[in-house]
Amino acid sequence: MEKNEAVKKKAYDPTFANEVFKNVDSGEGIKTCMQCGVCAMSCPLKEHMEYSPRRIFALVRMGERDKVLGSRDIMLCTSCYTCKVRCPRKVPVMDAMHGLAHYALVQGYVPRKETAVFGRKFWDCVYKLGKIDEKAVAQNFMLADGMVAGIPKAMENMPMGLAMLFHHRMKLLPEKPIKEIKAFRKMLDLAEELGKGGDK
């Protein structure tokens, strides 16, 4: 009896699925997934994934919270839109993967540190300036763990940086904020509050 209940729980535990539908951006789209696997077949990085989007969605339904929110796969999306285009049930696969990644980070999981840090620095720059300052985002990313850890990373990326500089593809002066930056930030604060994505 006990064993049966454990099996039953494992096969179908709606608690986490409901949490996903409620809190994760585009998470409710997962409801319509019929597990056909077209997304998994279409993904350019499928060979590098442990689960694939299809199995991630199955794990959501099985209540495997840690497995889903801790999986590197949810941060391996290149945003190529192939899965979204091909899904026969019109599941916004890509958006749901992005939603899960955002939610995982808010919940304190770090499915993929490098991308999480880079994405954070990117967003901080958007918030600060309203625009992206490519060199500042790259620098902040490389120095995220301090000078000592940053030097080898900077050295590794130096040849590309120099090539860009040499071919005048780098702005030398710091980027200025957009004119209405204050109102812009207020809008983002309000969107953060009114949107989904999980409570911080």
Partner 1 sequence: MEYFLYWGCALEAGDKHYLVSIEPVAEVLGIHFREIEDWNCCGASIGYIGGNELSGEILAARNLALAESQGHFDIVAPCSSCYVVLNKVNRELQANPAHLAKVNSILAVGNLNYKGSLKVRHIQDVLINDVGVDKIKAAVKHPLTGVKVAGYVGCQTVRPYGEYDSVEKPVVMDKLLEALGAEVVQFDSKMVCCGSGIFFTEQALGFQQVDKILTDIEKNGGQIVSTACPMCQMNLEVYQKKVNEALGSNHCLPIVFITQLMAVAFGLHPNKAAALNHNIIPAAPVLLGGH
Residue numbers at the binding site for partner 1 (CB under 8 A): 25-26, 44-45, 48, 75-82, 84-85, 95, 98-99, 101-102, 105, 112, 114-120, 122-124, 126-127, 130-135, 138, 141, 159-160, 163-164, 167-171, 178-180, 183-184, 186-188, 190-192, 194-197
Note whether 102 and 151 are within 8 A (CB). no
Tokens of 27: 């998470």
Query: How far apart are CB 123 and partner 1 at their closest, in Å?
Result: 2
Query: How far apart are CB 155 and partner 1 at their closest, in Å?
Result: 13
Distances (CA, A) of 165 to 23, 148, 154, 156: 43, 24, 15, 16
Query: Based on CB atoms, which residue is closest to partner 1, 10 or 171?
Result: 171
Alpha helices in 45-107 (DSSP H): 52-62, 65-69, 82-86, 93-106
Distance of alpha carbon 158 from alpha carbon 90, whole angstroms: 43
Which residue type sits at 131?
K
Query: How far apart are CB 1 and partner 1 at their closest, in Å?
Result: 43
Query: Based on CB atoms, which residue is closest to partner 1, 13 or 82?
Result: 82
Query: Based on CB atoms, which residue is closest to partner 1, 67 or 81?
Result: 81
